[in-house]
Amino acid sequence: MTRRGRAALKAGVWIGCLSPLLALLYRYWTNDLTANPVSFLTNTLGDWTLRLLLTSLALTPLRILFGIGWPMPLRRLVGLFAFFYASLHFAVWLVIDQFFDWPALLADILKRPFVTAGMCALTLLVPLAVTSTAGMVKRLGARAWTRLHRLVYVSAVLGAVHFIWLAKVGRVTPYSYAGILALLLGIRAVDGVRRLLRRRWNSPSHLKGDTRMRTSLREWARELVVLAGWLSAQHDGRHEDAGQGDDVRRCGDGHGQRHVDRQGDAAGYGHDAGPGHGEAMSQGAADTRRPW
């Protein structure tokens, strides 16, 4: 991407991320913050914290699934804006809602699980915001920095839990946020395992040379199925290891079937699973070539 393109992209992110705040200011000017402005401000700022946090966490899965890598450099900016909204959300609670009523604040933090979760989520974001500069990456070293910044996953989970725990019965939004987060983290987890296995299996032929991890959704899904087969084979293997006495009998008929799958999967992974191999394989491996 050109320098100018990058600058335009950044400007777009600034505008996009600041517009919810500008909308709130506009509503303040036009006296349109509902009959309960404090609650409206708190809820809106909290909402945008989670939305931006989810957005910043969606950029990596975007690359994993679709090979779209250009938004990756925006993670930091969007993440910092999430922290910005989280801080405002907290400030409204501290200053306007509770007005520095420290005993009440402390009691809330200790007694109300949803406040505890929210406070933890915000606290975990502080070191990430502090170490977000390029200089800090250098000072910490890339590996330590990356490890530290994995805290964002914990923070996001706590943020989603915070929302679920505070909401009344019948609200769907908190669960949809949690669902999206689970999906985003799940994609990472599966991708992580995939990379681990790839390293262990010495780069199977059809993945060779793919060092940049740019993969298509189709390729990714194929590997996912292979992985599922492999895991079930592992599971099967455990039974084989412990396969004496009662265990064997409990495994029953499924045992043999899974064994076949494992062989099929292994075959599917070893070859570049192109057309023509299907007939020889079991159902599990045939799945890997479905056009998703």
Partner 1 sequence: MPIGRAPRLTEAEVTDEAIYLNRRAFLAAAAAATLALGGSPGSAGAGAVPSALGPLPARRNPRWSTTEPTNRFDEATTYNNFYEFGVDKDDPARLGHLLHPRPWTVQVGGLVRKPARFDVDDLMKLAPLEERIYPLRCVEAWSMVIPWIGYPLSALLKRVEPLGAATFVAFTTLLDPEQFPAQTPPLLGFGGLDWPYAEGLRLDEALHPLTLLTFGMYGHVLPNQNGAPIRVVVPWKYGFKSAKSIVGITLVREQPKTAWNTAAPQEYGFYANVNPTVDHPRWSQATERRLGEFRRRKTAPFNGFAEEVASLYTGMDLRRDY
Q: List contacts with partner 1 (CB under 8 A).
A: 34-36, 38-39, 96-99, 101, 104, 107-108, 111-114, 165-166, 168-172
- C-alpha angle 185/191/67, rounded to 5°? 100
Instruction: Check: CB of residue 284 under 8 Å from CB of residue 261.
Output: yes
User: Minimum distance between the CB of residue 93 and partner 1, rounded to whole angstroms?
Assistant: 12
User: Minimum distance between the CB of residue 102 and partner 1, rounded to whole angstroms?
Assistant: 14
Beta carbon nearer to partner 1, 113 or 270: 113
Beta carbon nearer to partner 1, 7 or 104: 104
User: Minimum distance between the CB of residue 177 and partner 1, rounded to whole angstroms?
Assistant: 14
User: Minimum distance between the CB of residue 110 and partner 1, rounded to whole angstroms?
Assistant: 12
Residue 290 neighbours by CB under 8 Å, 6+ apart: none
Beta carbon nearer to partner 1, 45 or 59: 45
User: Minimum distance between the CB of residue 39 and partner 1, rounded to whole angstroms?
Assistant: 7
Beta carbon nearer to partner 1, 39 or 205: 39
**Residue count (the chain):** 292
User: Minimum distance between the CB of residue 40 and partner 1, rounded to whole angstroms?
Assistant: 8
Beta carbon nearer to partner 1, 7 or 95: 95
Beta carbon nearer to partner 1, 142 or 172: 172
